[in-house]
Amino acid sequence: MSSRVHNFNAGPASHPLPVLEGIQAEFLDFKGSGMSVVEVSHRSKTFEEVIEDAAARVRRLLQLDDTFHVLFLQGGASLQFAMVPMNLLPEGRSADYVNTGTWATKAIKECTIQGKMANVVASSEDKGFSYIPKEISFSPEAAYAHITSNNTIKGTQWTSFPDTGGVPLICDMSSDIMSRAFDAAPFGLIYAGAQKNLGPAGVTLVIVRQDMLERVPKDLPTMLKYSTYVAHSSMFNTPPCFAVYTIHLVLKWLEETIGGLDKMEEINREKADLLYRTIDTSEFYRGTAETESRSVMNVTFRLPTEDLEKQFVQEAAQHGLIGLKGHRSVGGCRASIYNATSLEAVKALVGFMEEFARKNG
Q: Is 158 a catalytic residue?
A: no
Q: Which stretch binds ligand PLP (CB under 6 A): 39-47, 172-180, 262-270, 312-320?
A: 172-180
Contact string (CB under 6 A) for ligand PLP, positions 1-40, x = contact = ----------x-----------------------------
Residue tagged active-site, from 96, 172, 271, 325: 172
Q: CA-to-CA distance for 68 and 52, rounded, in angstroms?
A: 14
Q: Is 172 a catalytic residue?
A: yes
262 CB contacts (<8 Å, ≥6 apart)?
181
Query: Considering only residues 7, 87, 124, 175, which one is a binding residue for ligand PLP as defined by CB under 6 A?
Result: 175
Query: Considering only residues 169, 172, 302, 336, which one is a binding residue for ligand PLP as defined by CB under 6 A?
Result: 172
Residue (76 or 239) nearer to ligand PLP, CB: 76
Q: Which stretch binds ligand PLP (CB under 6 A): 72-80, 155-163, 251-259, 288-296?
A: 72-80
Query: Considering only residues 33, 78, 139, 311, which one is a binding residue for ligand PLP as defined by CB under 6 A?
Result: 78
Query: Considering only residues 14, 123, 124, 174, which one is a binding residue for ligand PLP as defined by CB under 6 A?
Result: 174
Residue (284 or 332) nearer to ligand PLP, CB: 332
Contact string (CB under 6 A) for ligand PLP, positions 209-248, x = contact = ----------------------------------------
Radius of gyration of the chain (CA): 21
Residue tagged active-site, from 154, 196, 225, 325: 196
Strand partners, 298: 336
Query: Considering only residues 30, 103, 276, 301, which one is a binding residue for ligand PLP as defined by CB under 6 A?
Result: 103
Q: How many residues sit close enough to ligand PLP to count as binding (CB under 6 A)?
A: 12
Q: CA-to-CA distance for 90 and 356, rounded, in angstroms?
A: 54
Q: Does 196 bind ligand PLP (CB under 6 A)?
A: yes
Q: Does 146 bind ligand PLP (CB under 6 A)?
A: no
Q: Does 148 bind ligand PLP (CB under 6 A)?
A: yes
Taking a C-beta distance cutoff of 8 angstroms, is the pair 84, 107 a contact? yes
Q: CA-to-CA distance for 254 and 251, rounded, in angstroms?
A: 5
Residues with active-site annotation? 103, 172, 196
Which residues of the chain form contacts with ligand PLP (CB under 6 A)? 11, 76-78, 103, 148, 152, 172, 174-175, 193, 196
